[in-house]
């Protein structure tokens, strides 16, 4: 739990020494970039590396967490002011590009780094200092070396992963550093284990280090603009904390779940269900849900994943005419994985920390929502000679129009939602049986159906729609490709530019989850 201890006088000298060291490294980086023309990426990563090592020893010198928390807070303020006024250019630009050059990308790592440090100080200092130390060390050293190797000797870029350039060489460096640091860390902190990790064989701990290294590498590869500074330590800390304190989560099950998530991600790339970014996101999501939730949480997710993926591949010829209408094709990317599975992912995390059964129904509700939305679209466009009506005016519109609903599509939405709940019924989930099988089917079925209608409403009102001047049709795509290969910007017809299909799908997922949760809570 969150805990801020009282300040102790004996910690004050160390606090001033810590602040002095931080300022020294920042000023050193600035001098290297301004006076000696050292690449800004190199200077920033040297500071990054130094901070990671310094934080590892932080708990050994402070008896209370008050001054470490104060130091982290001051760094957040300094980073925020620096973003506004640009005092330290070496901490702003990313990817090795000078801040003065065109195309420079600001890095927000100077804020995210102390922010995750502050949160861990408040939540882990009293009972799990070693998790704070180890997670920040992996981020500080692994992420720094990965960026330096990737920018200097990286030759093979990973396609369809993220807008920021990521290389195989950089990711391999991140994986090897993370695995080594976690393996050694588990051996060093073995006597500090007090929960589910206590007494585990060395081979099991090494396997955990291997899986967490894959997780850290995936997070580093997926995120940019400094977000990896936050989520690398956050993901490592979350897994270790849950394994320690949640006694329903077994290390062996977590490792098997992580392996299954990895194999599923590889399989998804091979059969072209997902591209590289989608497969990486699926690995991260699957490791959490499969490894921590077990079969109870895995089967509904797999029901959505397999049925919706297969359905998206069916009727390809009939749906081909809609390919230029929809924003994306049938091969899903990370954005679609987050939009469809992100709320379910959050529900799993909340449940692992609270053990509230109502969260499981919220989980089923969000999966039913995205299943209903997917089935409504796929069945509605596959159906022979379908008719669709705009949900806000009930005027007939072309099939595939954002906000359009049809009888086959709406029926498919409800049936798809029932499959999600039915998978839990087949798994004989105690919470579903206690609430009632018929009641659960109706609750999840209508949660999914109503959420799909919410999706249609947002699609008709706020989702951005564009006019394609080349093909002279309405589309969700922001750009079109002319016959000569030139990229042409489409004209915004209606909606808000940043509200795309992924964001509307997220609204849908939230509404299905919220409806199921509030019904269960009110019937307790």
Residue 318: per-residue pLDDT: 53
Q: Are 265 and 282 in contact (CB under 8 A)?
A: yes
Give the start-to-end residue ranges of the domains of the chain: 292-463+499-524
Q: How far is 142 from 285, CA to CA, in rounded Å?
A: 22
Q: How far is 360 from 393, CA to CA, in rounded Å?
A: 36
Residue 99: per-residue pLDDT: 42
pLDDT in tens, 489-524: 888 888 888 888 889 999 999 999 999 999 999 886
Tell how strand 465-468 and strand 473-475 pair up.
antiparallel
SS3 percent helix, strand, coil of the chain, rounded to 5, is 70, 5, 25
3-state secondary structure 345-397: HHHHHHHHHHCCHHHHHHHHHHHHHHHHHHHHHHHHHHCCCCCEEECCCCCEE
Listed residue (343, 373, 339, 313) closest to 500, CA to CA = 339
Query: Could you tell me the two tokens for 167?
Result: 């290389």
Q: Are 179 and 209 in contact (CB under 8 A)?
A: yes
For residue 131, CA distances in Å to 44, 110, 117, 124, 239 come to 25, 21, 11, 7, 10
Residue 101: per-residue pLDDT: 41
Spell out, as residue ranges, where the chain has pLDDT lower than 50: 95-104, 322-328
First to last CA, the chain: 26
In this structure, the dihedral spanned by the alpha carbons of residues 390, 393, 396 and 400, taken in order and rounded to 10 degrees, is: -10
Tell how strand 388-390 and strand 404-405 pair up.
antiparallel
Query: Could you tell me the two tokens for 14?
Result: 């160390």
Residue 317: per-residue pLDDT: 53
The H or E element containing residue 491 is: strand 491-494
Residue 484: per-residue pLDDT: 74
The neighbouring-strand residues paired with 487 are: 481
Residue 96: per-residue pLDDT: 40
Q: Are 493 and 465 in contact (CB under 8 A)?
A: yes
Listed residue (165, 196, 197, 161) closest to 182, CA to CA = 197
The H or E element containing residue 105 is: strand 105-106
| Three-state DSSP class for residue 207 | helix
């Amino acid at each position: 739990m969150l805990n801020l201890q009282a300040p102790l006088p004996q910690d004050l000298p160390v606090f001033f020494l810590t602040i002095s060291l931080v300022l020294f490294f920042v000023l050193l980086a600035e001098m290297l970039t301004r006076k000696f023309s050292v690449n800004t990426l190199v200077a920033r990563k040297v500071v990054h590396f130094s901070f990671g090592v310094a934080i590892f020893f932080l708990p050994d010198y402070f008896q209370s967490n008050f001054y470490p928390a104060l130091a982290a807070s001051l760094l957040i303020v300094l980073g925020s002011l620096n973003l506004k006024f640009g005092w330290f250019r070496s901490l702003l630009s990313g990817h090795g590009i000078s801040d003065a050059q065109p195309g420079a990308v600001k890095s927000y790592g100077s804020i995210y780094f102390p922010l995750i440090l502050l949160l861990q100080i408040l939540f882990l200092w009293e009972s799990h200092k070693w998790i704070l130390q180890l997670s920040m060390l992996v981020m500080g050293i692994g992420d720094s070396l990965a960026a330096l190797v990737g920018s200097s000797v990286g030759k093979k870029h990973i396609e369809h992963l993220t807008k920021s350039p990521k290389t195989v060489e950089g990711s391999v460096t991140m994986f090897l550093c993370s695995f080594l640091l976690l393996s050694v860390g588990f051996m060093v902190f073995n006597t500090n284990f007090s929960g589910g990790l206590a007494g585990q064989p060395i081979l099991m701990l090494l396997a955990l280090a291997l899986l967490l290294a894959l997780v850290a590498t995936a997070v580093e590869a997926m995120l940019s603009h400094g977000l990896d500074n936050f989520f690398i330590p956050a993901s490592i800390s979350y897994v270790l904390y849950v394994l320690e304190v949640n006694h329903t989560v077994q290390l062996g099950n977590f490792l098997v779940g992580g392996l299954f998530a990895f194999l599923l991600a590889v399989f998804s790339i091979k059969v072209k269900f997902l591209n590289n970014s989608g497969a990486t996101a699926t690995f991260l999501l699957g490791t959490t849900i499969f490894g921590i939730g077990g079969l109870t949480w895995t089967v509904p997710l797999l029901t959505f994943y397999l049925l919706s993926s297969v359905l998206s591949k069916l009727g390809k010829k009939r749906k081909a005419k809609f390919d230029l209408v929809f924003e994306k094709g049938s091969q899903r990317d990370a954005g679609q994985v987050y939009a469809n599975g992100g709320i379910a992912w959050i529900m799993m995390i909340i449940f692992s920390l609270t053990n509230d059964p109502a969260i499981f129904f919220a989980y089923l509700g969000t999966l039913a929502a995205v299943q209903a939305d997917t089935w409504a679209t796929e069945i509605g466009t596959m159906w022979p000679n379908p008719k669709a009506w705009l949900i806000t005016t009930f005027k007939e519109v072309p099939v595939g129009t954002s906000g359009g609903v049809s009888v086959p599509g709406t029926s498919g939405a409800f049936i798809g939602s029932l499959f999600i709940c039915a998978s839990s019924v087949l798994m004989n989930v105690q919470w579903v049986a206690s609430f009632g099988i018929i009641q659960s089917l109706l609750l999840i079925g209508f949660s999914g159906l109503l959420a799909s209608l919410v999706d249609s409403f947002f699609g008709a009102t706020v989702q951005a729609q564009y006019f394609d001047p080349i093909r002279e049709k309405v589309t969700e795509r922001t750009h079109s490709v002319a016959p000569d290969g030139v990229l042409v910007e489409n004209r915004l017809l209606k909606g808000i530019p940043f509200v795309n299909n992924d964001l509307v799908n997220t609204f849908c997922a939230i509404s299905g989850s919220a409806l199921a949760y509030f019904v269960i809570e009110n019937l307790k």
